[in-house]
Amino acid sequence: MSAHPLISGRGLDDVLAWRPQGPVTVREFLADALALAARLPDGGWQLNLCEDRYHFAVGFVAGLLAGKVSLQPSSQSPETLQRLAVDHPGTTWLADKPADLPGMPGTVFPDLAALDRPAVHEMPQIDDDRPVAILFTSGSTGLPQPHCKTWGKLVQNGRAEAAALGLLQRPQAIVGTVPTQHSYGFESTFLVALHGGCQFAAAKPFYPQDIVAALQALPRPRMLVTTPFHLSALLASELPVPPLDLVLSATAPLSPDLARRAEARCGAPVHEIYGSTESSALASRRTLDGAAWHPLGAVRLEHEGDTTWASGGHVEGRVPLADVIESCADGTFLLHGRHADLVNIAGKRTSLAYLNHQIGALPGVVDAAFFLPDDTADGDGVTRLAAFVVAPTLDARTLLAGLRTRLDAIFLPRPLVLVDALPRNATGKLTRQALQGLYAEKVVHGHG
């Protein structure tokens, strides 16, 4: 039976995390986790709702030491949590503040300073084959689906990503704008700290001024783990961004223009991670180096018909991918959008990702998304797209005129609806369910 340490490549007195009170060593972190583990209720499943990244990390490790599996839904809607509790009997919750989850016992994260923390002299070892987390898909194309992660694969995941980003040679202090429950935040802020030599900040800033403050509180080298949505808002704020050493983006395509502006403002290269909850992180690239993606570690991609399968390295089993992928002779690959995003109208094909890129590039557009509703055909049987746009200084006529210079007329949205904001979730994603609700409100019921 093989095993890996809970935290690798670190001494007990090395800094692992940064809280408002200051740095936290590996030894102090383990003492906090052991003290919390003794207070957790019985049950094999722990729903970790902590938004404070340090609380999440201590809670995850406490659950691990207490024999629990961490449940990490990307949505914390009452419907999602109720379904999760039914599917995992005996689930208990851990949260920063009291949670309203009738019938589910839980723990409010305690004041660590008040706990009786044991002395720590050695690093715990965890069996590689042990299931330690279940991550759930975002529900972008349907109901969230569970995906089990074993300890050995998570260790490989953290190391492979850290190696690809150069973090093993130059570890960074990390600020993340994404939730740790989400696969991207879990891997790129937590796992690369446990097994890539990095340090992480407890904060999960959302607004530009909070991101700036969180970065200022960390020593260099430091990196920002974020999304195109958060990065765009940060640059638009025109606040002075503290010098960075790396910017990492995921959850949606990052335009070269945004990457170029971010590199100029932050003084650091901008990289992207590609992956999914099902497969974990699969590849990385520096956006301005071109469209090709470089697979992480020992990851392998195989094509069968229109489907690409991922396996090897830290991938659990053999996983079908939702994207259209073209492999290149040099071992890299190109992404051509999601299968579910492909649009075929009157014999002409495009993707929602391409359409979103074109409308988002129009001057004055703050945010935008095309949508292909379930009932898509007009009276002539022709499929019609809709688009929702946040553009405070523009009207629909001006926007459509701009799109006519970029798109075939068959792909122009009918209707184009101006809105105050798009219903993005905590990772900046727009789920199909959220867009369907917006379409029902603004189009079907005529409130737009």
- Give the chain's count of helices (H) and strands (E): 12, 27
Joined tokens for residue 203: 């904060």
Where residue 145 falls among pLDDT bands split at 50, 70, 90? Answer: confident
CB neighbours (10 Å) of residue 320? 12
pLDDT-wise least confident of 31-35, 118-122, 345-349, 376-380: 376-380
Residue 375 confidence class, pLDDT cut points 50, 70, 90: low
299 or 406: which leads in pLDDT: 299
Residues 256 and 390 in one domain: no
Q: Is residue 140 part of a domain?
A: yes
* pLDDT at position 17: 98
pLDDT band per the 50, 70, 90 thresholds, residue 69 = very high
Average pLDDT, the chain: 91
Looking up residue 289, the CATH number of its domain turns out to be 3.40.50.12780
44 Cβ neighbours under 8 A, 6+ residues apart: 67, 68, 69, 90
Structural domain count, the chain: 2
pLDDT at 141 over 70: no
pLDDT at 440 over 60: yes
**Bridge partners, residue 274, by sequence:** 283
Q: Is residue 33 part of a domain?
A: yes
pTM of the entire predicted model: 0.83
Per-residue pLDDT at 202 exceeds 60: yes
* Mean pLDDT value of segment 29-55: 96
Q: Which two tokens stand for residue 221?
A: 């080298």
Q: What is the pLDDT of residue 448?
A: 45
Q: Is residue 341 part of a domain?
A: no
Q: Which residues contact 222 (CB under 8 A, 6 or more apart)?
A: 172, 173, 174, 175, 215, 242, 244, 245
pLDDT of the residue at 380: 46
Helices 26-37 and 53-65 pack at an angle, to 10 degrees, of: 60
DSSP of 5-47, one letter per residue?
A: ESS-S--TTSEEEEETTEEEEHHHHHHHHHHHHTTSPS-SEEE
Helix or strand holding residue 302 (H, E): strand 300-304
In this structure, is residue 81 part of a structural domain? yes
| Cα–Cα distance measured from residue 249 to residue 251, given in angstroms and rounded to the nearest whole number | 7
Spatial separation of the C-alpha atoms in residues 105 and 228, rounded to whole Å: 37
The CA distance from 333 to 291, in Å, is 8
- On the question of pLDDT at 68 being above 50, the answer is yes
Q: Where are the alpha helices (DSSP H) in 48-168?
A: 53-65, 78-87, 151-164
CA angle 285, 132, 428 (to 5 degrees): 45
Examine the domain organization and report whether 360 and 303 are in the same domain. no
Q: Write down the pLDDT at residue 427.
A: 76
The Cβ of residue 205 has, within 10 Å, a number of other Cβ atoms equal to 20
pLDDT at 327: 95
Nearest alpha-carbon partner for 53 in 151, 176, 197, 159? 176
Q: What is the pLDDT averaged over residues 190-203?
A: 97
Task: Say whether both 357 and 288 belong to one domain.
Answer: no
Name the amino acid, one letter, at 379.
G
Cα gap 310→327, rounded to integer Å: 12
Q: Is the pLDDT of residue 379 over 80?
A: no
313 assigned to some structural domain: yes
Compute the average pLDDT of residues 156-170: 97
* Distance in angstroms (rounded) separating the CA atoms of residues 77 and 98: 15
Stronger pLDDT, 380 or 173, i.e. the higher one? 173
- Give Cβ neighbours of residue 192 (< 8 Å, ≥ 6 apart): 158, 161, 162, 165, 167, 174, 198
Give yes or no for residue 143 having a pLDDT over 70: no
Residues 199 and 273 in one domain: yes
pLDDT of residue 268: 97
Answer yes or no: do 212 and 242 share one domain.
yes
Is pLDDT at 342 greater than 80 in this prediction? no
* Same-domain pairing of 297 and 371: no
Q: Which residue has the higher pLDDT, 137 or 412?
A: 412
Domain limits for position 319: 3-336
Last-in-domain residue among 336, 359, 374: 336
- Poorest-pLDDT segment among 109-123, 138-152, 251-265, 384-398: 138-152
Q: How confident is the model at residue 104 (pLDDT cuts 50, 70, 90)?
A: confident
DSSP 53-65: HHHHHHHHHHHHH
pLDDT at position 346: 63
pLDDT band (50, 70, 90) for residue 382: low
Rounded average pLDDT over 406-430: 88
pLDDT reading at 421 higher than 80: yes
Q: Rounded CA gap, 161 and 305, in Å?
A: 29
Q: What is the pLDDT of residue 138?
A: 66
DSSP 305-339: TTEEEEESTT--S-EE-SEEEEE-TTS-EEEEEEG
Report residue 399's pLDDT band, with 50, 70 and 90 as the boundaries.
Answer: very high
Among 303, 358, 365, 304, CA closest to 334: 303
Q: What pLDDT was estimated at residue 344?
A: 73
